[in-house]
Structures are given as structure tokens and as C-alpha cells.
Amino acid sequence: MNMKEKVFAAFTSLIITGTFSSCSFDASKLKIWDKSDNQNNNKVENAVVEDSDISYQWDTVSIDGGGYVSGIVCNKTEKGLMYARTEKSGAFRYDSENKEWICMTDFLSADESGLMSVESIATDNHEPNRVYMACGSLESGENGVIFRSEDYGSSWERFELSFPCGGDAAGRGSGERLAIDPNDNRTIYYGSRSAGLWKSSDYGKTWSVVPSFNTTGNFAQDSADIGIMWIAFDEQSGTDGSPTLNIYAGVADVDGNTIYKSENAGITWDSIDTELAGYYPVQAEFSENG
């Protein structure tokens, strides 16, 4: 094995077995193992790269795969702006200029790996720089977090929830549980699995439960509550700068009470009789003409 082969072998081994942030690397201190070291009981004290002028720049490595891509969300006003959420590998933003997906959750530590399960993403059509995501794993047994960003996901602020999210659980492929009011983008709703409907009126900085939404659904799959699966706004029922009046929510309920409607901007809610007991709507979206 020549010098170049030895350096490449060590580089490959380190990439496979560890995670690195950007750093400067001094190859003169790199210890190399090869077959001849077996004669020394695998001792490698004397196996070093002799050229002290070699240095390398280390960075994170793109790893393709790692669970389902459970949803893709497109911004309606900024061309090419898309986000993807996954059940185990975090959230990604599409870089249309370089035609690649950029991970937005590399900031999470190993101790918070459960937050790599992304349950929902919302992109703001009025201010496309704003993006939100609800994260958490039922398997981890820890409470979820709602993250907010004002720079396309380059940096984040967080709101700690008092209940778990289920980005890795049954129902992860349903519609978006996070939804931004299209007429008043200060207002955001989040449909939880077991703790009801939540609302923010300050761009996701603070959240509180909506007391008038008095159901969480009663259907579970694989021991996971499905809960409130999506929120949809009838944009034509509001005016720019004021809350949308007509809002709909889909709930997993075996009794047929699966779609709820508010006609007063979320103050009160009533179920719509679908006459479809045993079924529930997984996704919903308003057409542009309502």
C-alpha cells in the first residue's frame, strides 16, 4: 500500500465510523494500519504519514436514505422552494440553483435524535423565508418540539411541547398538521395526535391549545394515536391581513365525525356529518377557486 492509498484508506474509515464538523486536519499525526501491523499485534505507534505538509479540510457527508420521505411541501409564491420531511432523517430544503437537497436538522445532537422524526412542515406563502416544523418520535418517549425559522431553515428557534409528536409513527404520511393562515400569516395551527388543536398568533413564538376544539379523535394504529391529521383554509372566506373565517380540520375518528369546520376564524368548531363511519380523510386541499 503506497502513501496515497494509506491516506485514502484512513479517510474512508473515519468517514464511515464517525461524524465530523468542519475542521483542520494534520496528516503528520495520522496513524495508519496496514497488513504489516499484524506482525506487531496491531500496534500502530510507528505507522504515521511522513509528509507533515499535507492538510485536509473535513466536512459533513451526504448520506442518502434512512427512512421514509413522508411529505413534500411546496411554497406557492417562490418558484422552486420545496421542503421534504422524513420519518428518521430530519428535514430538507431543495436548493433549486444547485439541484440538491440541504439538510436543515444537522444542528440536532445525538441526544435529540428523536427530533429527526419530522411530523409536519409549513412554508409561508406571504414571507417565504419563514418555515416551521413539528418534530418528535413516539419511540423516543419524549415530548415534541415546534421549530420556527426566518431564514429558510438556516437557523431555528424552538417551542417545547408538553406532549409527544409522531413523525415516525402510523399516520405519518397524512396531510400537514401544521398550517399557516393564508390571509394572516401570523396565525398558525398545529393538529396534534393526542393533545387537541394548538394555535399561535405570533409567527410560532408561543402556542396554546384551542379549547373549543373538543376532540382528539379515537382511532389508533399500532398503538399510535392518529389524532388531527390536517388543517385547511378557505382563503376566499377572508381578506388579506385578517384571519380566514372558514377553516377545516381532519380527524381520525371511527364514529364518522372526521371533518370539523369553523366559520368564525377558529373561535368555535362543529363536526360535518360525512355519513362515513369507519373512514377518515387522510389529506385535503382547497382548489384555487374554492
- Are 162 and 217 within one domain? yes
- Are 49 and 167 within one domain? no
| H runs (alpha helix) in the chain | 3-17
| Calpha distance 120→167 (Å, rounded) | 8
Quote the pLDDT of residue 278. 83
| Calpha distance 193→209 (Å, rounded) | 13
6 phi and psi angles, rounded to 5 deg: -65, -45
- Are 92 and 52 within one domain? no
Output the nine-digit C-alpha cell for 92. 430538507
Q: Is the pLDDT of residue 47 over 50?
A: no
Q: Which residue has the higher pLDDT, 4 or 55?
A: 55
Q: Which residue has the higher pLDDT, 25 or 243?
A: 243
- Are 48 and 85 within one domain? no
- Are 212 and 252 within one domain? yes
- Are 104 and 171 within one domain? yes
CB-CB contact of 234 with 286 (8 Å): yes
CA 158 to chain centre: 13
How many domains is the chain partitioned into structurally?
A: 2
- Nearest-CA neighbor of 149 among 103, 102, 94, 205? 205
Question: What integer is the mean pLDDT of 282-286?
Answer: 90
CB-CB contact of 183 with 243 (8 Å): yes
Question: What integer is the mean pLDDT of 248-277?
Answer: 93
How does pLDDT run across 214-258, given as a tens digit for each residue? 999 999 999 999 999 999 999 999 999 999 999 999 999 998 899
Q: Is the pLDDT of residue 126 over 50?
A: yes
Model-level pTM? 0.78
- Nearest-CA neighbor of 232 among 271, 283, 277, 198? 283
- Domain, as residue range, for 101: 69-272
Quote the pLDDT of residue 279. 86
Q: Which residue has the higher pLDDT, 61 or 215?
A: 215
Q: Which residue has the higher pLDDT, 23 or 104?
A: 104
Residues with Cβ within 8 Å of residue 4, at least 6 apart in sequence: none
Question: What integer is the mean pLDDT of 109-133?
Answer: 96
Question: What integer is the mean pLDDT of 101-125?
Answer: 95
Mean pLDDT rounded to a whole number for the chain:
83
In whole angstroms, how large is the CA radius of gyration of the chain?
A: 24
